[in-house]
Amino acid sequence: MKNSKKELVGTHWGAYWVETEDGAVVGVEPSQNDSNPSPIGNLLYDAKDSDYRISQPMVRSGYLKGDSNNRQSRGMDSFVPVSWDKALDLGSSSIKKVKEKYGNSAIFGGSYGWSSAGRFHHAQSQVHRFLNRIGGYTASVNTYSHAAAEVIIPHVLGVDLATAGDYLVKYDEIVKHCDLCISFGGIGNFNNQVLSGGLGDHRDKTTFENLSIAGTEVISISPFRPDSPPNLKAEWITAKPCTDVAIMLAIAHHLETSDSADQDFINRYTVGYDEFKKYLLGHSDNVVKDADWAASISGIPASDIERLADKLTSAVCPLITISPSLQRAEHGEQPFWMAVVLAAMLGSIGKPGGGVGLKWGSNGVGLYHKVPFKWGRFPQGKNPISESIPVARIADMLLNPGGTYTYNGENRTYPDIQLVYWAGGNPFHHHQDLNKLRRAWREPETVIVNESVWSATARHADIVFPANTFLERNDIVCRSDSYISPSKQVSENFGESRSDYEIFCGLSERLGVLNEFSEGRDEMEWVEAIYHESFDNAEKAGIKLPTFEDFWEKGDPVNLESQMKISKRDNFIARFIDDPNRNQLRTPSGKIEIFSSNIDSFGYTDCLGHPVWFEKSEWLGAQRAAHYPLHMISPQPHNRLHSQFDFGDFSRKDKTNGRETVTLNPEDAHIRGITSGMLVRIFNDRGACLAGAHLSDHIMQGVIRLPTGAWYCPNEFDGPDSLEYHGNPNVLTVDKGTSSLSQGPSAHSCLVDIEPYKGHAPEIHELLTKR
């Protein structure tokens, strides 16, 4: 008799009824609540693939020999399976040694990444709580997603980026009121299907149908046509990547010089327009930011820029939206700041359905209503160490202990890291210039990684603890919308894997802090405690959750929306617009800061007191383009979440020649002798990778598109001879802070060239499964 089970499992891309037989996944059925489920669920069929899962604790052979000088072979050595006791002893003694010799700030626990969706088995919370209990760690701040925007927006609007994204404008208001939307980088493509912490019902499709019926005119400025859904029939305008600020400035210039800027709005709600105007008109730098100027930078005809400005002027409720991709680039602060300034000049900020949509087109921003209370969480405790780095500066930190850098007005020093602990993220997926990261990764004495699969990060560790997956444990999923859902164990642990919680219990016990870490609770006791915290918080907000017993037994997602009094106009921006004196913004001036005296006082040359177009070191107008004439964008993959389950059939079926598919314009392909399906080499002076070519006129000429997420599969070199075989764009991208202000990642500022590849191309599966 087969052992069959069917349970609801929550993921970042939706909830699914997963069916297993003897532990193998045999069925994946979207939850009945989901009107438009994401096909990414198909990847769950491969979640137990034994070629890629880690079945027992592993130690790098060189590390096991105890020779601390052999860090050079990290990432290349074979692994030796060991018992849990041996691995936990080794892990705890290496932590103890680093603590005693260098202090807790030598432990890097920044551990960035999406991991999985549950509230309890949230890997970052787990590793942070553990490290806090043993005296703390060097942390990381901000995200790879929106670091530049996270730092600039509080200066400009006085709220954090999440609040700004959630409350400035909502789609249901756009459908009702907006007559013109100019979208920079995307409105409503597949990126909206993924929400951090999961979701109950995908609303993107119906929303875009409603928008199409409402007849809102959409103009999409982007290098890739499908950045707006086909039913919106958006006008597609192609501009050179990273030139959006110049376009916005020229629109602003046209508004100013044609007397169309909303001077009343500017006077009442903003500060610093006059200073900005000097720059706009060229009084401060002798460069007039008019349409001809922006045309020469962006490649958009001047007449089109003026037409956009006129259209915006005559629209009743204009909206500017801006995708987070624009700020994962050099000077990424500027497009977000300038989008706010432009919307202020239009006087449309705070109008229902108008103004500015920040970090638009991704992660369901504007589509869902969050609950008006705090969900329960697994408490992380307090970190006794105050040290932190901007998240994307990890390689610089490892390579330059004691080196100095700036961040948001501070002068800082990199700590000397001797132990890296990673749980729930994949730096060899998310970081830029992976050859550099590989060199940096050899610096610390010890690298410990909790992983379910043999990701590149696991392969670059000394000690690997095998983590189980969400199919193998119980949890609660809730966060970014109005649903709360149980996520239940549907299969036994793969091999000897354990939950992160159990792994940290094992280490805590050896370090004498087990009680402090676990509080004596097991998995279900924590899940219940987190539910009760949610229950109590909801009750205070007048919302009734079922009892835990009902919730767990029934096993269905619960939608709280009908109990939520969604007062659309009760938010920071509506209150400010209603009465800017009584409800000041939390900026130094209390108003929208077109000029920020704070930022100006930092004295940075790459982020001034107002939005500015800065020449970039990598864009199609740079000198470097003479050597590397194509701009590579490396967007999110449509068929997976980052690198997660890239080995699964659903992800592999879209590869070309077994490699990630690179999309390029037929003209660019033709002059290089590249045809569809051909194996190609993409290269610059930082690295090179193979990919399979796909020709399409949906991508503008001069730009290629290689999505992130192909598992990093390099040859043995990390210099000019390096070749990555699978199509990982991060061997090509630059590891450079967006600016002195936020030090965010600059992945989208990247020039490359591409050629047909005739050399040896080893099979990926074989390379990735060699241990």
Ligand X SMILES: Nc1nc2c(c(=O)[nH]1)N[C@H]1C(S)=C(S)[C@@H](COP(=O)(O)OP(=O)(O)OC[C@H]3O[C@@H](n4cnc5c(=O)[nH]c(N)nc54)[C@H](O)[C@@H]3O)O[C@H]1N2
Task: Determine if 686 is a binding residue for ligand X (CB under 6 A).
Answer: no
Query: Whole-angstrom Cα distance, residue 312 to residue 318?
Result: 6
Residue type, 322: I
Whose Cβ is closer to Mo ion: residue 145's or residue 587's? 145
Residue type, 551: F
Give the residue, chosen from 20, 33, 92, 193, that forms a contact with ligand X under the rule CB under 6 A: 193
DSSP 145: T
Closest CA to 734 of 334, 242, 322, 222: 242
Whose Cβ is closer to ligand X: residue 347's or residue 427's? 427
Residue 435 interacts, among ligand X, Mo ion, none and using kind-specific CB cut-offs from 5 to 8 Å, with none
Residues in touch with Mo ion (CB under 5 A): 145
Report residue 113 CA to chain centroid gap: 8
Query: Whole-angstrom Cα distance, residue 690 to residue 675?
Result: 15
Residue 186 interacts, among Mo ion, ligand X, none and using kind-specific CB cut-offs from 5 to 8 Å, with ligand X
- How far is the CA of 282 from the CAs of 285, 336, 749, in angstroms? 5, 22, 26
CB distance 127 to 149 below 8 Å: no
Alpha helix (H) residue ranges in 603-710 = 649-652, 666-670
Closest CA to 457 of 113, 182, 97: 113
Give the residue, chosen from 119, 129, 642, 686, that forms a contact with ligand X under the rule CB under 6 A: 642
CB distance 700 to 650 below 8 Å: no
CB distance 143 to 150 below 8 Å: yes
Give the residue, chosen from 354, 361, 609, 702, that forms a contact with ligand X under the rule CB under 6 A: 361
Give the residue, chosen from 227, 330, 472, 724, that forms a contact with ligand X under the rule CB under 6 A: 227
Whose Cβ is closer to ligand X: residue 239's or residue 511's? 239
Whose Cβ is closer to Mo ion: residue 149's or residue 678's? 149
- What 3-state DSSP class applies to 672? coil
**Which two tokens mark 591?**
């108003």
Give the residue, chosen from 91, 188, 415, 425, that forms a contact with ligand X under the rule CB under 6 A: 425
Task: Determine if 241 is a binding residue for ligand X (CB under 6 A).
Answer: yes
Nearest-approach distance from CB 705 to ligand X, in angstroms: 7
Residue 657 interacts, among ligand X, Mo ion, none and using kind-specific CB cut-offs from 5 to 8 Å, with none
Task: Determine if 700 is a binding residue for ligand X (CB under 6 A).
Answer: no
The site string for ligand X over 314-353 (x = CB under 6 A, - otherwise) reads: ---------xxxx-x-------------------------
Instruction: Write out the DSSP string of 358-422.
Output: ETTTSTTTTT----SSPPP-------S---EEEGGGHHHHHH-TT-EEEETTEEEE-----EEEE
Whose Cβ is closer to ligand X: residue 482's or residue 733's? 733
Whose Cβ is closer to ligand X: residue 92's or residue 143's? 143
Please state at what angle helix 333-345 crosses helix 147-157, rounded to 10 degrees: 40
Check residue 733 and give left, alpha or beta (phi > 0: left; psi -120 to 50: alpha): beta
Binding to ligand X (CB under 6 A) within 427-446 occurs at 429-430
Query: Whole-angstrom Cα distance, residue 257 to residue 711?
Result: 51
Binding range to ligand X, per CB under 6 A, among 97-105, 287-295, 590-598, 639-647: 639-647
Residue 430 interacts, among ligand X, Mo ion, none and using kind-specific CB cut-offs from 5 to 8 Å, with ligand X
Considering Cα of 491, then 493, then 494, then 495, what sign does the dihedral take? negative
Residue 328 interacts, among ligand X, Mo ion, none and using kind-specific CB cut-offs from 5 to 8 Å, with ligand X
Task: Determine if 482 is a binding residue for ligand X (CB under 6 A).
Answer: no
Binding to ligand X (CB under 6 A) within 139-178 occurs at 144-145
State the DSSP H helix or E strand holding residue 141, giving kind and residue range, or none if neither. strand 139-141
State the DSSP H helix or E strand holding residue 176, giving kind and residue range, or none if neither. helix 171-177
Binding range to ligand X, per CB under 6 A, among 26-34, 237-245, 255-263, 671-679: 237-245
Query: Integer distance in angstroms from the first to the last C-alpha of the chain?
Result: 35
Residue 198 interacts, among Mo ion, ligand X, none and using kind-specific CB cut-offs from 5 to 8 Å, with none
Task: Determine if 229 is a binding residue for ligand X (CB under 6 A).
Answer: no
CB distance 306 to 291 below 8 Å: yes
Catalytic residues: 112, 114
Nearest-approach distance from CB 11 to ligand X, in angstroms: 10
Binding range to ligand X, per CB under 6 A, among 131-139, 253-261, 421-429, 516-524: 421-429
State the DSSP H helix or E strand holding residue 164, giving kind and residue range, or none if neither. helix 161-167
Binding to ligand X (CB under 6 A) within 511-530 occurs at none
Task: Determine if 190 is a binding residue for ligand X (CB under 6 A).
Answer: yes
Give the residue, chosen from 132, 228, 383, 450, that forms a contact with ligand X under the rule CB under 6 A: 450
Binding range to ligand X, per CB under 6 A, among 217-225, 300-308, 585-593, 654-662: 217-225
Whose Cβ is closer to ligand X: residue 322's or residue 538's? 322
Instruction: Write out the DSSP string of 702-766.
Output: TEEE--S-SPP-B-S--STT--BSS--GGGTS----S-TTT----TT--EEEEEE--S----HHH
**Which two tokens mark 192?**
């909206």
The site string for ligand X over 105-124 (x = CB under 6 A, - otherwise) reads: --------xxxx----x-x-
Task: Determine if 663 is a binding residue for ligand X (CB under 6 A).
Answer: no
Task: Determine if 702 is a binding residue for ligand X (CB under 6 A).
Answer: no
CB distance 395 to 736 below 8 Å: no
Nearest-approach distance from CB 362 to ligand X, in angstroms: 3
Residue 185 interacts, among ligand X, Mo ion, none and using kind-specific CB cut-offs from 5 to 8 Å, with ligand X
Nearest-approach distance from CB 534 to Mo ion, in angstroms: 25
Q: Which residues sit at the interface with ligand X, rule CB under 6 A?
A: 113-116, 121, 123, 144-145, 184-186, 190-191, 193-194, 221-224, 227, 241-242, 244, 323-326, 328, 361-363, 423-426, 429-430, 450-453, 455, 467, 500, 633-638, 641-644, 708, 729-730, 733, 747-748
